[in-house]
Chains A and B, each alone.
Chain A
Amino acid sequence: MIQHVNVKVFAESPEGFDHNAALAVFQRWIRESVCEELLIDVVDYHHVPAGPGTVLVGHEANYSLDNGGNRLGLLYNRKAPIEAGEEENFAQALRAALGACRRLEEEPEFEGRLRFGPAREIEITINDRGLAPNTDDAFVALKPAIESALGAVYGAVEFSLERLGDARERLRIGVHAGK
């Protein structure tokens, strides 16, 4: 069964993003235990170009304001397996990522400048090559579960899905609202 689902929700307005604000927010999230997961520490990689940005390390999952591909976004990285079924594993990661986006948008440190917007562009990654290589076959096999999970989370919004990257990379799926 597919595990370790990663969801990245791209920021709409990355201009003016301040990594120091992200450090302060994530430290407070630990102090106030705002997530379901056990939160452990914050790591700052803002010095790395197109890197993981600011990472809130948790036991079951990491949250990060990720700058991979030089695109800022909220990345939810599920680490602990969940025995809930494939569709639910996707849905859980989507819900956790979107919940974190909502919370970040409201954090005063960002002064309203960090927005993920209603028309969200999302990227889903299976962070385990052992379970899912980046192949067309693996993508086709997982597509129905992802579509069901998107339906469960977003309701009757139409999405188009495409496989991204090459075989050396993890299985990565771009999700766009609309056909």
Chain B
Amino acid sequence: MKASNGLWRERLLGAMPAELAQEIDVFENELAMRKRGKLDEALVAETRLRRGVYGQRYDNGQRHDGRATRQLAYPEDKPTKGPQTLWDAPGMQRIKIPFGGLTARQLETLAELAEEYSDGIAHVTTRQDVQLHFVHIEDTPSIMRRLAAVGITTREACGNTVRNVTACPVAGVCRTQIFDVTPYAHALAYFLLGHPDAQAFGRKFKISFSGCCEEACGLAHMHDFGAIAVERDLDGKRKRGFELWVGGGLGAVPQPARLFTEFLPEEELLPVAQAIARVFARLGEKKNRNTARMKFLVAKLGIDEFRRLVAEERARLPFDKRWTEYLEHVERAGEPRLKPPSLLQINGAASGEFTRWAATNVYPQRQRGYSTVTVTLPLGDITADQLRALAEVARRFIKDTIRTTVEQNMVLRWVSDGDLPQVHAALQAAGLATPGAGTILDVAACPGTDTCKLGIASSRGLAAELRTRLATRAFELDEAVESLRIKISGCFNSCGQHHVADLGFYGVSRKKGDYAVPHFQVVLGGQWRENAASYGLAVGAVPSKRVPEVVDRITGRYVNERARGESFQAFIARIGKAECRRTLEDLMEVPPHDADPSFYSDWGDPREFTIGDLATGECAGVVVPAVEFQLAACEREVFEAQLKLEKAGIEAAAAQAHESMLHGAAALLRHKGVAFGGSPDEIVRTFRAELVETRLFWDPFRGGALSNYFFKAHENAGAVHTEEAAHQLIEEAQLFIEACHACYVGMAAVGVG
């Protein structure tokens, strides 16, 4: 952990938005509480996940070294940071990048963080996030502060929350879009961030935006909430709206989304999303994480009933001006362009390198004279030096119009066409001009066994191997093969989106004699275009080391046997699953260990293969009931009141103690399912009626004394306190919060809540 951690809070004060600064202080205090033994491990896990601080492989302190599982001897004087998760074990920091939008300054900050806190690499994910690996938990508040100072939050990047809102990376400049979805994605992302109605899910909730139906765009059909831009003529006016798809998702049980409505008017986007969040929070599965995604709720209820419940909830929502106020700016929400449009002019013959790069990595925008350039990142990885170089390219040619993509690349939008050769040269100097974006060379992969606790096989190792092999044959690849996509996941959870690739692979393990052998299940014929319209066929598992042959054989058959104009999906559907399997059958064999031991280790990892390193995933969060989470927050507030008494002054401490009691009371009321207004007086009144007078909040020895602390604190709110009185108030607040915990347990015993 960094020696400078104590410095950033003061240095960046004023540079961070106040709300984010406070949010990070809260998190830092929670970590401090955990170190003092004042916060339960499940709660600290939930609170860090909600800030994007994720566990990583081997963080239970065990690792198989190829011969035996050994303990990693971390210092023993530390608490855990979650169930079976050691404090000092390195973890991952996920950084939410709504719709992938980044500025040059943000790229530079990511560079600084990657080299100072991580291993020098920033990793772009398949959901447009950026991840830093091998991060120490005590560094995460500094990381968050430095991000906040450039306008980035990690809040709700993991856990059972609304995850990063994704959108088509060419939204706004796309030739086939209906309209630019960017301002809508931005509005919904920040509307739901921290929204009270989106805090009690049983599982994560994923949103995407697409500008059109035909392209892959936002992959709407594989999202919980997939919005596709549409327009209609209503009352003689052209009206914007969205075709809304709900309940889609990949994972172990992929489900295509169902059509919620063909036209959701733009002004209904935010309130309907809020209503859906409420229905999911209220009726979604909470105990069994395997059936807790919204796709299971939609399937269980049926789309008609789901629609009815959402409409009912929508009708009940109190008006929120944020629903529509952003719409005033939508039409004007264009991006700044640094340069005027121009024509590409090449004196003499263009270099072969430029031509090859331009053919795959340059997309002519709908605005004449401009192009979007794709910066291909191998396996989504970019170094700190490259991030700085990219920031420089951006400043020189486009300003701040950079986006990450779900194919783990970055794009530079608004490159004036005449600048393309110079942009290529600048990217080439930084090792960022690899051609082949969106082709079979551009293999996507989740982290797999490199860092993920759930990874079974090395998705990144395989991806690197396929990239290398395919790149050496790039010139001889048939055009029909070049346009195919390969996507790889380390396990069945589909983070590599293998279901929607032409050639998809996910990691599995098979036994051969006494040995485990890394394998990949082959999934063929998924459809990336049309918003991930259909999922592929699982054909069978092949040893990891034979996957390159699988790619050669299947693509070879396609080239040789396809009908004129036949797509890969159509070809796979025509020959069928049984024939696909027959094609690969001999490749499914594993030679004995003695004959070829290389089959018994994975790509990029010479250790003998094992699945003994698998651990409990944190993807689903810890599923702590909302009331427990809220009461833990109250304890932290009391802790902060104590700190304020030492530093910030008596009245601030007293106010904080009072507030913690109000929050504790409100948490219990919400848990009981009681409707109440938000004002402190209403909370006190409802608490008295619903919990004290009903004797749910009642101590067997002290009767109503503990609730009286709360009532007294409320009566004295705003009064001048002596230091002694403030100190006593804090003590009483602590007792009151403890009583809230007891009340919660008592409510469970009598079946309330």
Contact = CB atoms under 8 A, between A and B. Distances in A.
Given A48-B383, A52-B121, A59-B88, A3 B3 contact: yes
Interface string A39-74: 011111111111110010101001000001100000
Nearest to B112: A129
Range class of the B interface residue count:
35 or more
Given A41-B63, A44-B604, A52 B119 contact: yes
Interface string B98-110: 0000000000100
B464 A44 contact: yes
Contacts of A59: 72, 74, 88, 90
A20 B598 CA distance: 13
B119 A31 contact: no
Contact of B58 (A24, A41, A168): A41
Interface string A95-126: 00000000000000000000000000000000
B116 interface: yes
B431 interface: yes
A80 interface: yes
B73 A129 contact: no
Interface in A119-142: 127-131
A3 B3 CA distance: 7
Given A38-B73, A40-B90, A128 B383 contact: no
A116 B89 CA distance: 32
A3 B6 CA distance: 14
B381 A50 contact: no
B90 A57 contact: yes
Range class of the A interface residue count:
35 or more
A43 B119 contact: yes
A40 to B, nearest CB: 6
A24 B121 contact: no
A14 to B, nearest CB: 17
Contacts of B464: 44, 46-47
B431 A50 contact: yes
A37 B727 CA distance: 45
Contacts of A130: 2-5, 7-8, 11, 142
Contact of B66 (A31, A169, A170): A31
B65 interface: yes
A42 B458 CA distance: 13
B378 interface: yes
Nearest to A132: B4
Interface string B299-317: 0000000000000000000
A38 B73 CA distance: 7
B383 A4 contact: no
Given A45-B121, A59-B74, A170-B116, A31 B3 contact: no
Contacts of B399: none
A48 to B, nearest CB: 5
B614 to A, nearest CB: 15
Contact of B119 (A23, A57, A128, A168): A57
Contacts of B134: 43, 57, 62
Main secondary structure of the interface of A (DSSP, over half): loop
A1 interface: yes
A27 interface: yes
Of A128, A130, A169, most B-chain CB atoms within 10 Å: A130
Interface in B581-620: 604-607
A68 to B, nearest CB: 7
Interface string B59-91: 000010111000011100000000000001110
Contacts of A38: 72-74
A46 to B, nearest CB: 8
Nearest to B382: A48
B4 A128 contact: yes
B115 interface: yes
B467 interface: yes
A85 interface: no
A50 to B, nearest CB: 5
Contacts of A127: 115-116
Contacts of A170: 115-116
A79 interface: yes
Given A43-B450, A68-B120, A170-B115, A23 B65 contact: no
Of B57, B72, B74, B461, most A-chain CB atoms within 10 Å: B72
A170 B467 CA distance: 32
Given A4-B2, A68-B120, A79 B136 contact: yes
A30 B89 CA distance: 15
A44 B468 CA distance: 14
Of A51, A55, A169, most B-chain CB atoms within 10 Å: A51
A4 B2 CA distance: 8
A44 B461 contact: yes
A18 B447 CA distance: 23
A81 interface: yes
A94 to B, nearest CB: 19
A47 B434 CA distance: 12
B463 to A, nearest CB: 8
B378 A48 contact: yes
Contacts of B431: 48-50
Contacts of B142: 130
A48 B383 CA distance: 8
B606 A24 contact: yes
B379 interface: yes
Contacts of A52: 119-121, 383
A49 B72 CA distance: 32
Contacts of B119: 43, 45, 52, 55, 57, 62
A2 B160 CA distance: 40
Nearest to B57: A41
B390 to A, nearest CB: 13
Contacts of B57: 41
Contact of B4 (A27, A62, A79, A131): A131
Contact of A23 (B3, B72, B606): B606
Query: Which 10 pairs, one residue from A and one from B, show the smallest C-beta to C-beta distance?
Result: A130-B4, A49-B431, A3-B3, A31-B65, A52-B120, A47-B378, A81-B3, A47-B464, A24-B606, A130-B7
14 contacts: A4-B116, A27-B66, A40-B89, A48-B378, A50-B385, A52-B121, A52-B383, A57-B134, A80-B1, A81-B3, A127-B116, A130-B11, A131-B4, A169-B388
Interface of A: 1, 3-4, 20, 23-24, 27, 30-31, 38, 40-52, 55, 57, 59, 62, 68-69, 79-81, 127-131, 168-170
Interface of B: 1-5, 7-8, 11, 57-58, 63, 65-67, 72-74, 88-90, 108, 112, 115-116, 119-121, 133-134, 136, 142, 378-379, 381-383, 385-386, 388, 431, 450-451, 461, 464, 467-468, 604-607
Given A52-B120, A129-B112, 7 more contacts: A3-B2, A43-B451, A45-B121, A46-B464, A57-B119, A130-B11, A170-B116
